[in-house]
Amino acid sequence: DAGITQSPRHKVTETGTPVTLRCHQTENHRYMYWYRQDPGHGLRLIHYSYGVKDTDKGEVSDGYSVSRSKTEDFLLTLESATSSQTSVYFCAISESMDSSEAFFGQGTRLTVV
């Protein structure tokens, strides 16, 4: 498995609180991604990064922000968690922007109550 660690693996939080999920990689890959997985939707891209401090929005970015201060770390923040953000969150990495496949972490299950 690619060296990708997501933390925490499970979290329960209350509506309105901020939450930060962490993705840490040891592969030195330039590109990192956050997806969320929901039944009936597959995986949808939230944000992605193409280098340190270089990030951009994906398909479902509202209510989320990201930061990447080091190559190995990509943080996803839910600024004020809502029940609609209850989901499984996956981090992914890829070596190049061309044809290389993406490798995924094991996921973080987030429940907002």
Partner 1 sequence: AQSVAQPEDQVNVAEGNPLTVKCTYSVSGNPYLFWYVQYPNRGLQFLLKYITGDNLVKGSYGFEAEFNKSQTSFHLKKPSALVSDSALYFCAVRDGGFQKLVFGTGTRLLVSP
Peptide bond into 39 cis (omega under 30): no
Cβ neighbour number for residue 94 with a 10 Å cutoff: 19
Q: How far is the CB of 45 from partner 1 (least distance, A)?
A: 6
Q: How far is the CB of 80 from partner 1 (least distance, A)?
A: 26
Give the nearer residue to partner 1 in terms of CB position, either 15 or 106. Answer: 106
Q: How far is the CB of 36 from partner 1 (least distance, A)?
A: 11
Which token pair is 106? 């094991």
**Residue whose token pair is 């340190």:** 52
Closest CA to 27 of 107, 106, 108, 103: 103
Q: Hey, which residues between 39 and 98 contact partner 1 (CB under 8 A)? A: 40-45, 48, 50, 56, 58-59, 90, 92, 94, 96-98
Number of amino acids touching partner 1 (CB under 8 A): 30
Between CA 113 and CA 101 the distance in angstroms is 35
Q: Which residues bind partner 1 (CB under 8 A)?
A: 4, 31, 33, 35, 40-45, 48, 50, 56, 58-59, 90, 92, 94, 96-107
